[in-house]
């Protein structure tokens, strides 16, 4: 199940459909108005089996995103959790990325989505490191985008909606054009927000900082995992408004995300961060994160849901 093979099955509204037949009509509401909400999860293979990381939290957030957009998903949370596990098992994948998505489908066009059905789909594929294998050790180079995050009274950042990623695309395209691996966007007020697909953390004098939810960010589940791991390791973690220049002065900066996992950042706007390589606290958190998902340490936070094949 990869984009090259185009094999395997995709779950669509309760049925398993061949990858190549998982199509929708071009006049579906979502195609015209971006009316979708989605999730991204990872399943990790470890010596005890294969386990999905924080399944319940992702399903919960999918339903929260749908609630904000008044999109009634015609399945229960348990149905979706079971379907997520099933689609991994049916595709016989041990380690993969999982993409559940709910969207307004095909019935009529016009801005109001109310007459359009809500369809739900879950796809899986093998996805390696998000920003490159080498990045996990050496860090990435990022730049502050000229595009800001969504203003709080424009589109809700706490909803993981497909349309939010038009904003993310602008930032990502600009980053690529400028030769950066990734962008970091400021919020409407000029404080640090998040990357195109990641939350951000910085370390200064052994204290860990991350933007608060009022900076138009997604409430990242990896962000929450990093906070819990860091606190468990004895670090103080502060969620607050972060001025842009605090990024440059940090000892360490890193991204978190389901796709990005824990990725160190070595430069911002071509300014070296700390020693311009993965810092010691980033390394500790990253290694604890991978020890949990790889089953090397006890799953003390109860984050892993094992798949039955
Ligand atoms: N902010 C944004 C804007 C975002 O898209 C993600 C996830 C996060 C923060 C981190 O959230 P979490 O995954 O719950 O820790 N981005 C998803 C999509 C990436 C993509 O390229 O597509 C992801 O990581 O799955």
**DSSP state for residue 154 in the 8-state scheme:** T
| Residue of minimum CA distance from atom 22 in ligand 1 | 197
* CB 305 less than 6 A from any atom of ligand 1: no
Q: Which atom of ligand 1 is least distant from the CA of 160?
A: 5
Q: Which atom of ligand 1 is least distant from the CA of 157?
A: 3
Q: Which atom of ligand 1 is least distant from the CA of 196?
A: 3
| Residue of minimum CA distance from atom 3 in ligand 1 | 197
Q: How many C-beta atoms surround the C-beta of residue 245 within 10 A? A: 10
Q: For residue 203, give the nearest of 271, 157, 249, 161 by alpha carbon.
A: 249
Find the helix or strand (DSSP H, E) in which 137 lies: helix 135-138
Sequence-ordered list of residues with C-beta below 8 angstroms from that of 157, at least 6 positions apart, any chain: 149, 150, 164, 216, 217, 218
How far is the centre of ligand 1, averaged over its atoms, from the C-alpha of 198 (Å)?
Answer: 5
Q: Which of 9, 85, 160, 172 is catalytic?
A: 160
Q: Which pLDDT does position 53 carry in this prediction?
A: 98
Q: For residue 222, give the nearest of 263, 171, 250 by alpha carbon.
A: 263
Counts of helices then strands in the chain (DSSP H, E)? 8, 17
Each residue's pLDDT tens digit, 141-187? 999 999 999 999 999 999 999 999 999 999 999 999 999 999 999 99
| Ligand 1 pocket mutation pick from 172, 257, 262, 285 by most atoms within 8 angstroms of CB | 257
- Tell me the HSE value of 176 on the side-chain side, using a 13 A CA sphere: 8
Is 160 an annotated catalytic residue? yes
Q: DSSP secondary structure string, 168-201?
A: HHHHHHHHHHTT-SEEEEE-TTSBEEEESS-EEE
At 70, is the secondary structure helix, strand, or coil?
coil
How far is the centre of ligand 1, averaged over its atoms, from the C-alpha of 262 (Å)?
Answer: 12
Cβ–Cβ < 8 Å for 123, 10: yes
Terminal-residue alpha carbon distance, the chain: 16
Dihedral, CA of residue 164, residue 168, residue 171 and residue 175, to nearest 10: 180
- Residue 98's φ and ψ, nearest 5 degrees, are -125, 130
Q: Which pLDDT does position 3 carry in this prediction?
A: 83
How far is the centre of ligand 1, averaged over its atoms, from the C-alpha of 108 (Å)?
Answer: 31
Instruction: Give yes or no on whether 9-125 and 134-294 have one common fold.
Output: no
CA distance 131 to 129: 6
* CB 88 less than 6 A from any atom of ligand 1: no
Cβ–Cβ < 8 Å for 293, 44: yes
Taking only the tens of pLDDT, the chain with its 309 residues reads: 788 888 899 999 999 999 999 999 999 999 999 999 999 999 999 999 999 999 999 999 999 999 999 999 999 999 999 999 999 999 999 999 999 999 999 999 999 999 999 999 999 999 999 999 999 999 999 999 999 999 999 999 999 999 999 999 999 999 999 999 999 999 999 999 999 999 999 999 999 999 999 999 999 999 999 999 999 999 999 999 999 999 999 999 999 999 999 999 999 999 999 999 999 999 999 999 999 999 999 999 999 999 998
CA distance 272 to 243: 17
CATH topology of domain 9-125: D-amino Acid Aminotransferase; Chain A, domain 1 (3.30.470)
Q: Which pLDDT does position 280 carry in this prediction?
A: 98
Residues 142-163 as b/e (b if ≥16 CB within 10 A, e otherwise) read bbbbebbbbeeeebebebbbbb
Tokens of 168: 């993310």
| Residue of minimum CA distance from atom 2 in ligand 1 | 197
Pairing of strands 96-104, 41-46: antiparallel
* CB 123 less than 6 A from any atom of ligand 1: no
- Domain boundary assignment for the chain: 9-125, 134-294
Q: Which pLDDT does position 2 carry in this prediction?
A: 82
**Tokens 């796709």 -> residue:** 259
How far is the centre of ligand 1, averaged over its atoms, from the C-alpha of 291 (Å)?
Answer: 21
The pTM for the full model equals 0.97
What separation in angstroms does the CA of 37 have from each of 89, 166, 234, 251, 272? 24, 13, 35, 36, 36
Give the CATH superfamily of 134-294.
Answer: D-amino Acid Aminotransferase, subunit A, domain 2 (3.20.10.10)
At 236, is the secondary structure helix, strand, or coil?
coil
Q: Which pLDDT does position 7 carry in this prediction?
A: 85
């Amino acid at each position: 199940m990869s984009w090259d093979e185009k094999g395997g099955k995709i779950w669509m509204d309760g049925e398993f459909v061949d990858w190549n037949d998982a199509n929708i009509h071009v006049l579906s509401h979502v195609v015209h108005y971006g009316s979708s909400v989605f999730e991204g999860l990872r399943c990790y293979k470890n010596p005890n089996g294969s386990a999905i990381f924080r399944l319940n939290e992702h399903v919960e957030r999918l339903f929260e995103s749908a609630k904000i957009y008044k999109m009634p998903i015609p399945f229960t949370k348990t149905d979706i959790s079971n379907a997520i596990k099933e689609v991994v098992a049916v595709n016989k994948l041990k380690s993969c990325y999982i993409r559940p998505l709910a969207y307004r489908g095909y019935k009529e066009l016009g801005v109001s989505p109310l007459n359009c059905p809500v369809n739900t789909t879950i796809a899986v594929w093998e996805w390696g490191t998000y920003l490159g294998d080498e990045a996990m050790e050496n860090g990435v180079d990022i730049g502050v985008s000229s595009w800001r995050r969504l203003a709080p009274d424009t589109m809700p950042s706490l909803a993981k909606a497909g349309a939010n990623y038009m904003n993310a695309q602008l930032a990502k395209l600009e980053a690529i054009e400028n030769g950066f691996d990734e962008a970091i966007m400021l919020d409407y007020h000029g404080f640090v927000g998040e990357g195109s697909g990641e939350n951000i953390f910085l370390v200064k004098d052994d204290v860990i900082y991350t933007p608060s939810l009022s900076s138009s960010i997604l409430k990242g589940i990896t962000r929450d995992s990093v906070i819990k791991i860091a606190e468990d390791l004895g670090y103080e973690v502060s969620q607050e408004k972060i001025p842009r220049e605090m990024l440059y002065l940090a000892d360490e900066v890193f991204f978190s995300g389901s796709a990005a996992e824990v990725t160190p950042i070595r430069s911002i706007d071509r300014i070296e961060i700390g020693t311009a390589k993965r810092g010691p606290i980033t390394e500790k958190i990253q290694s604890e994160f991978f020890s949990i998902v790889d089953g090397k340490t006890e799953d003390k936070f109860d984050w892993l849901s094992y798949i039955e094949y």
